[in-house]
């Protein structure tokens, strides 16, 4: 037998049985036989149960070795009673936690790799464009063409700046390090401030902005709330044709406050709807300028403010984004 403690216990039990039998022999042969048989039976029973116990301990040791090597697929669930069974079940629970953590780590690793690839692609495109235009500018003598190239380069730089800034904001939200100064905000004021940066763009495209605001107050951070609405409005304007319409409404009931932002643009394909708030997702009707993180940022902000967002859309008819700020959070 491999276990030295087990061998020692068998030897000690055998010696005790022999000594007891020898002592009993001085008084009675029958007593000595009974003592010897009793000691032998007790030693044998003890040996059987102890061996089974050590066998279970060896199984647990083998299991732990397998877990340490990264194998989380073993099943040691045990419904039997006893201390070792309790230990076995607790080890099984730990294994489940480790397996879940391992799977999450793998998913995070894949997500990080995909995100880095997307970021690299988004930055590579404008960088390549600017490198080419810089080379052209060196030999370009036409002042009007030089001005056009410089304007395009400024647009590309602004796009890169927006991408990097948005990614930094998302990383802060993910790490839960974003500073949220929660206070009472007026929805009409937040909507007006969110629309302000798009005044020139809507005017150039001839987009009519309709508002039907039922003012209400909600709990949120002013800057982050404006950031969320701006990204939704930006998405609607980008996917609305010249002469289209952007509608913003708000209402309140006993359960939640609601803001709806609608457009009559190209709409979202049914297969894209479940993924519209995923980072770097590009749907069928996405514009060439779309990066795919604006709506993801908007949703991340709203979740931090105990709100949610959903979208309904029909291709060729437009989309409606509905934001709900719940009054009671359980």
State the DSSP string of 120-142.
HHHHHHHHHHHHHHHHHHHH---
E strand residue ranges, 67-195: 183-186
| Most confidently modeled range among 1-10, 117-126, 264-273 | 264-273
- Residue spans of the domains in the chain: they are 4-99, 115-174, 183-326
CA–CA dist 312, 144 (Å, integer): 45
Give the predicted TM-score (pTM) of the model.
0.62
pLDDT in tens, 119-164: 676 677 677 777 887 877 777 778 887 888 788 788 778 778 877 8
- Parallel, antiparallel, or unpaired for β 245-252 and 307-314? unpaired
CA–CA dist 22, 16 (Å, integer): 10
Is the pLDDT reported for residue 246 higher than 80? yes
CATH topology of domain 183-326: Heat Shock Protein 90 (3.30.565)
Nearest-10 crossing angle of helices 83-139, 29-68:
10
Q: Are the CB atoms for 149 and 134 separated by under 8 Å?
A: no
Q: Which residues of 180-208 are buried (b: 16+ CB within 10 A; e: fewer)?
A: eeeeebebeebbeebbeebeeebeebebe
Instruction: Give the DSSP H/E element, type plus range, for residue 224.
Output: helix 222-238
Q: Are the CB atoms for 253 and 327 separated by under 8 Å?
A: no
- 193 Cβ neighbours under 8 A, 6+ residues apart: 226
Query: Taking Cα atoms as reference points, which of 313, 309, 193 lies closest to residue 256?
Result: 309
- Residue 1 binned pLDDT confidence (cut-offs 50, 70, 90): very low
Point out the least confidently predicted range of 107-116, 225-234, 306-315, 317-326.
107-116
Domain 115-174 annotated CATH 1.10.287.130: yes
As to burial, measured by CB atoms within 10 angstroms (0-12 exposed, 13-18 middle, 19+ buried), residue 95 is: buried
CA–CA dist 160, 156 (Å, integer): 6
Q: Are the CB atoms for 35 and 18 separated by under 8 Å?
A: no
Query: Taking Cα atoms as reference points, which of 171, 181, 205 lies closest to residue 300?
Result: 171
Which whole number is the average pLDDT over 1-18? 69
Query: Taking Cα atoms as reference points, which of 185, 252, 260, 197 lies closest to residue 223?
Result: 185
pLDDT in tens, 96-118: 787 787 787 787 777 667 666 76
């Amino acid at each position: 037998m491999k276990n030295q403690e087990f061998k020692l216990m068998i030897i000690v039990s055998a010696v005790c049985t022999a000594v007891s039998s020898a002592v009993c022999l001085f008084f009675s042969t029958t007593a000595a036989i009974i003592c010897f048989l009793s000691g032998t039976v007790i030693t044998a029973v003890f040996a059987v149960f102890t061996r089974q116990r050590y066998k279970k301990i060896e199984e647990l040791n083998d299991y732990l070795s397998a877990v340490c090597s990264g194998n989380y697929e073993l099943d040691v669930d045990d419904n039997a009673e006893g201390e070792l069974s309790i230990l076995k079940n607790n080890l099984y629970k730990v294994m489940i936690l480790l397996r879940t953590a391992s799977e999450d780590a793998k998913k995070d690793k894949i997500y990080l790799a995909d995100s880095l690839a997307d970021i690299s692609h988004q930055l590579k495109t404008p960088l390549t464009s600017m490198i080419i235009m810089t080379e052209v500018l060196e030999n370009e003598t036409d002042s009007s063409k030089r001005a056009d190239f410089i304007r395009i380069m400024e647009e590309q730089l602004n796009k890169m700046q927006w991408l990097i800034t948005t990614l930094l904001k998302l990383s802060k939200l993910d790490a839960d390090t974003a500073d949220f100064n929660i206070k009472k905000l007026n929805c009409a004021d937040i909507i007006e401030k969110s629309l302000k940066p798009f005044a020139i763009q809507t005017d150039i495209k001839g987009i009519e902005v309709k508002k039907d605001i039922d003012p209400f107050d909600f709990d949120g951070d002013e800057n982050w709330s404006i950031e969320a609405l701006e990204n939704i409005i930006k998405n609607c304007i980008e996917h609305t044709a010249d002469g289209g319409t952007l509608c913003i409404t708000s209402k309140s009931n006993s359960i939640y406050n609601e803001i709806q932002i609608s457009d009559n643009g190209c709409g979202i394909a049914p297969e894209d709807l479940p993924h519209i708030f995923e980072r770097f997702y590009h749907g069928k009707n996405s514009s060439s300028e779309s990066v795919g993180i604006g709506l993801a940022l908007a949703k991340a902000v709203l979740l931090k403010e105990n709100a949610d967002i959903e979208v309904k859309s029909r291709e060729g008819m437009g989309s409606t984004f509905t934001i709900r700020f719940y009054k009671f959070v359980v």
